[in-house]
Structure 1
């Protein structure tokens, strides 16, 4: 969700629910707005016939590449990526200090105020692309998606809103593992640990599952009003978990014969729960892991939740990765496709390419391996629909500062 092995945000819907199965013309810049190209050549790809230049990460191999190797590189409106880079440069890794100093000097809106070509030129003059592959040489992997739920809730329970979300209990982190879901809900010790820790109450146990899988969410409080008289919206951020093993409810349902692995999805889980209300509690307790939250104000609803890098995520331009393959704060070129969105009559639209520059700014418990990414779609119903369908083939390249040493 958003970390973690559970980052500050969540585990992806298809990834964690399914488990590890699965411009427009802009202003031309003045000379002062256009940074001078960097002369340092960086690490160029090997000459034909020579051994390729490679770097080894704990879970991945990086091989020096050329810009021509990046499918669709000249088509992505990379100026839309600049704000995500600027946010990432607030907390840069050591290798990124010179580049990020320049990014911060240019400001968060520079990339959106100049023509796309200037941003692309800036990137190419400062960074070097590297193809990411698994230790066994595989260059194809998996792209999934996640989002930030927006759910209705109440501070105080009533006949409808009666499923609580809790802040972390006392002793969490001292006792490992902490009490399981079953122990927390069904034993005197567990109930005592959660007593008085309720943050909000939701109307559906599957909403509890959804926000716990994502690790963060927005709650529209039905019993509190904002200055405009509308339901107040707050954010519940990831506040820890009980260190119990995660068990995929989708995998559990597959094992129960509810549907096949290929059919596993968030809509399929909801459909099963609607048809089997007496077994929902059994399904929930198949997973002993419980996620706890902390409340945060939401002064700007256009800003995403914080990821594992500690910076706000940008819809469509932030991803979660395995940090042993790709360090947090690294630009990544994705080569994948947009998931097929089905219309009401069941006819699918063609699937366009998803080839774009993003930032590695989050992690996830099911986001493991070299060529693996979880794409942040944003928040709300449309993001839910896209995230729930994202299960695409993936190739990726990382962009690393020219002249910098191997990624650590």
Structure 2
């Protein structure tokens, strides 16, 4: 990890700060701030739950801090997929979501080795059978999702662990092969290419050695978002996944995303992901289902991310702070 630098900013320098819905951000902040153990954060959480004026709360008790590790900012989007499945194998339902094996060691078998040899078959680890192997792959990339059962009803699955292998981007692989230009690649493009190319499509998915295992999380109500890294439901367009090496879980984070559809918004750092690395790397949660997935897939933009730190904590970073 590069040695980061910290720059204190003023709220008036945050693009669009005055026109955001600070109450919406405060509601999401309150949903997870009670899980922050540091006494400074705990006292702020207690006051936040008393119903203060939201904009005044953030401006009075926090300082905007720009954390820089020398890498350009990158914003992407993620979502909760909704798949079709069955509790039993049969017909079109041939592709399992697996629980974590009890004897897993890291690093373990690669994605290719697991699928080519049926390494997990016959152990009773199947949670549900899905009708599309590409949907299974993208669910593993997202880390959580909902499965609509063929018998009616729905289950939710969440990340339980992985095989300890490095994640590789199949989209980048298609760009490197000259199949597409970078701006053309999206989840739908990858999905269509895999389906249209038979064995070559399967081989493409196998370049990603990482393999994810799941657990059922049906204690989360259907009207709530999936569980994030803080084991709490995440909120569309207010939850952001960050690198916890730089940003504390539960911290308010001001997003200034550039691109075709700029976004200035106060979000809460409630999640992370294997591809989220760096002080200026963030993944915005767009919601559940195909529409959310299409919107999330469009996002690959620069900008900047500013962490709102408690005033005492911000000044405790001295002498690393740049005034």
* TM-score, L = length of structure 2: 0.91
Aligned with residue 124 of structure 2, among 196, 200, 206: 196
Cα distance per residue 1:91-140 (max 9 Å; x no partner)? 01413121012123x2xxx47xxxxxx31112111111122323x4x6x5
Aligned with residue 119 of structure 1, among 32, 42, 54: 54
1:307·1:363 contact (CA, 8 Å) conserved in 2? yes
Aligned residues: 316
1:258·1:272 contact (CA, 8 Å) conserved in 2? no
Matches within 5 A, 1:123-138: 123-134=58-69, 136=70
Counterparts of 2:30 and 2:166, CA distance in 1: 36
Residues 1:396 and 2:305 are matched in the alignment: yes
Equivalent residue for 2:190? 269
Counterparts of 1:89 and 1:66, CA distance in 2: 23
Equivalent residue for 1:98? 43
Residues 1:237 and 2:158 are matched in the alignment: yes
2:48·2:57 contact (CA, 8 Å) conserved in 1? no
Shift of 1:182: 2.4
SS in 2 for 1:403: helix
Shift of 1:82: 1.6
Equivalent residue for 2:218? 297
Matches within 5 A, 1:8-407: 59-94=3-38, 95-104=40-49, 106=50, 110=51, 118-134=53-69, 136=70, 140-172=72-104, 175-187=105-117, 190-191=119-120, 195-223=123-151, 231-297=152-218, 300-337=221-258, 351=261, 353-404=262-313, 405-406=315-316
Cα distance per residue 1:148-203 (max 9 Å; x no partner)? 1111111112221111111111212xx22112222222337x245x6311111111
Cα RMSD, aligned residues only: 2.1
Counterparts of 1:354 and 1:185, CA distance in 2: 40
Shift of 1:375: 0.4
Counterparts of 1:121 and 1:397, CA distance in 2: 18
SS in 1 for 2:227: coil
Provide closer, same or farther for how the CA distance between residues 83 and 248 of structure 1 changes in structure 2, counting only shifts above 3 A: same
Shift of 1:89: 1.1
Equivalent residue for 1:49? none
Provide closer, same or farther for how the CA distance between residues 362 and 335 of structure 1 changes in structure 2, counting only shifts above 3 A: same
Counterparts of 2:220 and 2:251, CA distance in 1: 28
Counterparts of 1:259 and 1:311, CA distance in 2: 38
Counterparts of 1:141 and 1:300, CA distance in 2: 34
Shift of 1:299: 5.2
1:150·1:379 contact (CA, 8 Å) conserved in 2? yes
1:244·1:289 contact (CA, 8 Å) conserved in 2? yes
Cα distance per residue 1:232-285 (max 9 Å; x no partner)? 111111011111222221122233332123322112112212321332221222
Cα distance per residue 1:295-343 (max 9 Å; x no partner)? 1215522211222223221111110111122121111111114x65xxx
Shift of 1:206: 0.7
Equivalent residue for 1:8? none
